[in-house]
């Protein structure tokens, strides 16, 4: 297992559809460990397998890495699906794969996410606030959608990060 480089936009792997996985597949544990190693080495709070070159439906979310946020701690989900979405709001969003920009994106403030843990247990998580945003962002990655695709106006809603 290893720290993998994060793919940067416009890498075609970021726009791909990604395959569901079975917890019995030996590749799953490798991808999960790569995700955890890569997330730990990054400044981000979440990462999807396609961002590190694995074209499968696995995400890792840990908003507690951001000061002042708690959430559910580290959550790794296989084949996550958002079942419920409530309370839309425009939020400023960034992405490890688009490091030079942030943008205003319409997101739900509460979501219910269902998936499998790496050991195959079905789990359902109700997330709100920043954690809900992180889950939506990562599930988007599994569908080949970037936050850039959700920006309504590139001229008014996309911002260059100050370095």
Active site residues: 138
Q: What is the DSSP code (8-state) at residue 52?
A: G
Nearest to 32, CA basis, from 48, 44, 19, 43: 48
How far, in Å, CA of 126 to CA of 11, rounded? Answer: 32
Catalogue the long-range contacts made by 88-92 (C-beta closer than 8 Å, 24 or more residues apart): 91/133, 92/159
Rg (CA), the chain: 15
CA of 138: how far to CAs of 2, 4, 101, 133, in Å? 20, 17, 17, 9
Q: Does 10 sit behind a cis peptide bond, omega within 30 degrees of 0 on the bond before it? A: yes
Q: Which two tokens stand for residue 61?
A: 């979310």
Calpha distance 117→21 (Å, rounded): 11
């Amino acid at each position: 297992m290893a720290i993998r480089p994060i793919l940067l936009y416009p890498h075609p792997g970021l726009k791909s559809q990604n395959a569901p996985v079975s917890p019995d597949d030996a590749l799953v544990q490798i991808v999960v460990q790569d995700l955890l190693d890569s997330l730990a080495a990054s400044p981000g709070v979440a990462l999807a397998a396609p961002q590190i070159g694995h074209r499968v439906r696995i995400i890792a979310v840990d908003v507690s890495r951001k000061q002042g946020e708690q959430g559910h701690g580290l959550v790794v989900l296989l084949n996550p699906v958002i079942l419920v979405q409530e309370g839309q709001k425009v939020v400023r969003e960034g992405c490890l794969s688009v490091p030079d920009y942030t943008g205003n994106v319409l997101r739900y403030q509460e979501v219910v996410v269902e998936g499998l843990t790496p050991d195959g247990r079905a789990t359902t998580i109700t997330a709100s606030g920043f954690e809900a945003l992180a889950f939506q962002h990562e599930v988007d990655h599994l569908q080949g959608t970037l936050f850039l695709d959700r920006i309504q106006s590139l001229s008014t809603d996309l911002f260059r990060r100050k370095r």
